[in-house]
Structure 1
Amino acid sequence: MVHQYKNNGLNIVLDVNSGAVHEFDEKSYDVLAYVKTKNEENHDFTVSELEGLYKDSFFEDSENKEILDELVELTKTGLLFAPDVHKGLLEQVKERKTIVKALCLHIAHDCNLACKYCFAEEGEYHGRRALMSFEVGKKALDFLVANSGTRRNLEVDFFGGEPLMNWDVVKQLVAYGRSLEEPHDKHFRFTLTTNGVLLNDEIMEFVNQEMDNVVLSLDGRKEVNDQMRPFRNGSGSYELIVPKFKKLADSRNQEKYYIRGTFTRNNLDFGEDILHFADLGFKQMSMEPVVGDESDPYAIREEDLPVIMEEYDRLARLMLDRERVGEDFNFFHFMIDLEGGPCLSKRLSGCGSGTEYLAVTPWGDFYPCHQFVGQEEFLMGNVDAGITRTDIADEFRGCNVYTKTDCQSCFAKYYCSGGCMANAYNFQNDLNGTYKIGCEMQRKRVECAIMMKVAKKI
């Protein structure tokens, strides 16, 4: 499968199966487009099929024939029209044993903000407000160690709600995790996701000592953030939080953190919010599109997509401009590794929810990920009994880019790995479905990310 597109004055060609990226001149780009019309069903060719095109009258033109010669050579070397070797390895991926490597500990089903788009209902997750006890968290860490096989590096994210509302238990669990490392030859990578309201110097010092990564929730410009992320009394949170986040990011040398925003249809110019982060001095940032029902006034709708696509293109150009003058920053969705990248199972199956990654409620129930918490049909077990619904794990393990119909012809499938299964289930009631609006945005982000890599090379 070959995908070609124009972006920022560049003619880009992506060979999907090999991952090779090419920048073509205008003539070569047009010739490739013509070649692809000769096999419109899948746009793939073997070398012999390409050589069979020489008798086409289009290639009586010497320049066109020379370009076809180059296309044939690229195909011979596996850099164009590469065969799909991934599908032949699919059974190995599906049969891999369940090795749990990461837990999302819902340390607090409670929150001190009232974000209007919160899928967790201000931390309640379709249930009740609660704080995780040390005893439940301890059992969760024991479960992780016992079910992690030979994997040494284990990941634990303190999540909510707002985890700082249960800070003493966070500290106790970090200490307990550290006590397990040497006896079991493990290493815990702790992370924290916080809205920053309760951040203080003591917490920052502990975070910098113990947390491998920190996710800081802020939506951008003051008016944007305060509209969607107010306190329960309706007042804005920006003025309180921003100085704390700036201090924490600087204390971490602008590394090992993300300032993470959410954009809605209220700020489709979200690039301005990302630039606002950069102007505040932040270097690591993410801006996620809100996911909501179309009836929600803030939800992104299909008619918003043209504006969003243009905004991603604009942001990519602005980032290149800033990098040229030494004002560069990282935007999570434009970070693509074209030379290494994730392992095979990640490319085909995604985040590992329900198999390698589990969410744990304050009372110790297991769910495939934080977005399924509270949906009883996905309750997998608990910290006392372990995984009792292995069929759920099997169902998640079976989901991949080949079981999702919409992924078959998508050039971005090995970058998004089939997309978020929670979004697929919530919008199509099918783990093997897709969230179509999300897919459109993902494809544009991949195109922008590749364009930026090409622009920097040339």
Structure 2
Amino acid sequence: MVHQYKNNGYNIVLDIASGAIHVVDDVVYDIIALLIETASEDVLEYIQNSASEKEIISQLEEHYNSEEIKEAISDIKELIEDESLFTKDIYKEYIMDFKKRKTVVKALCLHIAHDCNLACKYCFAEEGEYHGRRAIMSYEVGKKALDFLIANSGNRRNLEVDFFGGEPLMNWQVVKDLVHYGRELEKNYDKKFRFTLTTNGVLLNDDILEFANKEMSNVVLSIDGRKEIHDFMRPSRNGKGSYELILPKFIKTAESRNQNNYYVRGTFTHHNLDFAKDVLHLADLGFKQISVEPVVALEDEEYAIKKEDIPRIYDEYDKLAREMIQREKEGKGFNFFHFMIDLEGGPCVAKRLSGCGSGTEYLAVTPWGDFYPCHQFVGEDGFLMGNVDDGITKTEIRDEFKLCNVYAKDKCKECFARFYCSGGCAANSNKFHGSITDVYDIGCDLQRKRVECAIMIKAALAE
């Protein structure tokens, strides 16, 4: 399967199965378009046929001379023979075999606090309550969770634990105690914990920052961009804005971490479809690691992204991509999470095919010790998998998630971005369709656009 598109003056051809990307001239681009439309399954055999070559020449001779066309056909033949164009997909059997392997847990999302000191309008956690009661995790429950991770991690040495909420700083002492406990476990079991923290910053202070800089491999700082946007969607419980309170703390955090190993992470909604301004606002404040993501909400929410918003969002991604290229060339570049693609290394094949590992390699833990496939499933009765005392008792849920991959989703089979998004988010699929093997359609539309912009940026900066 091949996907081709034009963006910012570049003709880009993406070979889906191999991951090869080609920036081509007009004649090669147009011939590939003809091959996609007319060639049989064996494209190389088709293009090697002299009758086919004559047919291609006859269809394009109004725009190009025959020698140009013949030279382009020769180039295309070489790419096909090198298995970097019209490559066959060989991964379906691989992922089925991979999924039969014994499950190894490598990451936990610890819900340290089901409580929050903000009242964000789009919060899927319902101000930290997650369809349930306000609660904070005890040290004892957290210890059992880390013990479970050690016991179920197999031979994997590097493990990840994210302190999440609600707002985890509302239970900061337990966070510190669990980090210390984890460091002791490292010595006893030859493991290495990578701790991360997600915070709204309200309670952030110098002591917390010092500890985080010592112990947290990554810190996610929640801010939506411009003051008016942030304060509208992320007010405190008394209705006041939080921008002016958190901004100086976030700037200090980013600088203290040398502009690495953190993200300022925002959400854009129907109310700020000009979200590129929010990204650039954060960049202008000096932040180098930025993520501003579309809200995921049902259509009846007034802030939800609508189908009719998509063309506007596409334009905004294009605008942002062009500005990022310009800034990078001026030495003022920054990373935008959704435009970050590693075209040379990147995720392993299994991750490309099956995604984040929710429900199998990755689990969320509630304050009282229940296991769910990920933080977005917490509180959903049908996805309660077990607890820290008994382990995974609903193995059928885990087995269902083990089978969740790009080949299990009909909408992924013909999508060019499937090896970049890995089939999308299972929780979003369930939210909109009641199934983890469907997809969130608006999310797919936006993901495809982001992939195209990301590849175009790579092409522009490679010149």
What TM-score, normalized to structure 2? 0.97
CA contact (8 A) 2:46 2:52 kept: no
Q: Does residue 1:51 correspond to 2:52, yes or no?
A: no
Within the candidate set 267, 272, 283, 1:267 is matched to 272
Aligned to 1:297: 302
Equivalent residues in 2 for 1:240-389, closer than 5 Å: 240-389=245-394
* CA-CA distance at 1:422 after TM superposition: 0.3
CA contact (8 A) 1:400 1:418 kept: yes
Q: Does residue 1:226 correspond to 2:224, yes or no?
A: no
In 1, Cα distance between equivalents of 2:41 and 2:236? 54
1:359 counterpart letter in structure 2: A
In 2, Cα distance between equivalents of 1:71 and 1:181? 53
Within the candidate set 127, 139, 159, 2:132 is matched to 127
CA contact (8 A) 2:352 2:421 kept: yes
For residues 338-370 of structure 1, give each alpha carbon's deviation from its aligned partner in whole angstroms, at most 9, with x where no partner exists: 111111110110000000000000000000000
Structure 2 residue matching 1:451: 3-state secondary structure: helix
Aligned to 1:164: 169
- List 4+ stretches of structure 1 deviating above 2 A: 43-46, 52-63
In 1, Cα distance between equivalents of 2:453 and 2:102? 36
Within the candidate set 217, 220, 224, 1:215 is matched to 220
Q: Does residue 1:38 correspond to 2:28, yes or no?
A: no
Aligned to 2:101: 96
For residues 76-133 of structure 1, give each alpha carbon's deviation from its aligned partner in whole angstroms, at most 9, with x where no partner exists: 0001001111113122222121100000000000000000000000000000000000
* CA-CA distance at 1:456 after TM superposition: 1.1
Structure 2 residue matching 1:300: 3-state secondary structure: coil
CA contact (8 A) 2:35 2:43 kept: no
Q: CA RMSD in A?
A: 1.0
Q: Does residue 1:66 correspond to 2:71, yes or no?
A: yes
In 2, Cα distance between equivalents of 1:334 and 1:295? 29
Within the candidate set 402, 408, 419, 2:424 is matched to 419
In 1, Cα distance between equivalents of 2:54 and 2:164? 61
For residues 18-73 of structure 1, give each alpha carbon's deviation from its aligned partner in whole angstroms, at most 9, with x where no partner exists: 1001011112211211222104xxx8544212213535433363322221121111
Within the candidate set 206, 214, 217, 1:201 is matched to 206
1:435 counterpart letter in structure 2: Y
C-alpha distance 30-204 of structure 1, shift in aligned 2 (>3 A): same
For residues 213-239 of structure 1, give each alpha carbon's deviation from its aligned partner in whole angstroms, at most 9, with x where no partner exists: 000000000000000000011100000
Count of aligned residue pairs for this structure pair? 455
2:109 counterpart letter in structure 1: C
Structure 2 residue matching 1:402: 3-state secondary structure: helix
2:19 counterpart letter in structure 1: G
Equivalent residues in 2 for 1:2-17, closer than 5 Å: 2-17=2-17
For residues 155-213 of structure 1, give each alpha carbon's deviation from its aligned partner in whole angstroms, at most 9, with x where no partner exists: 00000000000000000000000000011000000000000000000000000000000
In 2, Cα distance between equivalents of 1:90 and 1:213? 30
In 2, Cα distance between equivalents of 1:153 and 1:85? 29
Equivalent residues in 2 for 1:71-82, closer than 5 Å: 71-82=76-87
Aligned to 1:454: 459
In 1, Cα distance between equivalents of 2:102 and 2:158? 17
In 2, Cα distance between equivalents of 1:449 and 1:379? 37
CA contact (8 A) 1:54 1:65 kept: no
CA contact (8 A) 1:44 1:81 kept: no
Within the candidate set 414, 429, 435, 1:430 is matched to 435
Structure 2 residue matching 1:18: 3-state secondary structure: coil
In 2, Cα distance between equivalents of 1:360 and 1:94? 23
Q: Which runs of 5+ in 2 are unaligned?
A: 59-65
Structure 1 residue matching 2:407: 3-state secondary structure: coil
CA contact (8 A) 1:101 1:155 kept: yes
In 1, Cα distance between equivalents of 2:38 and 2:93? 27
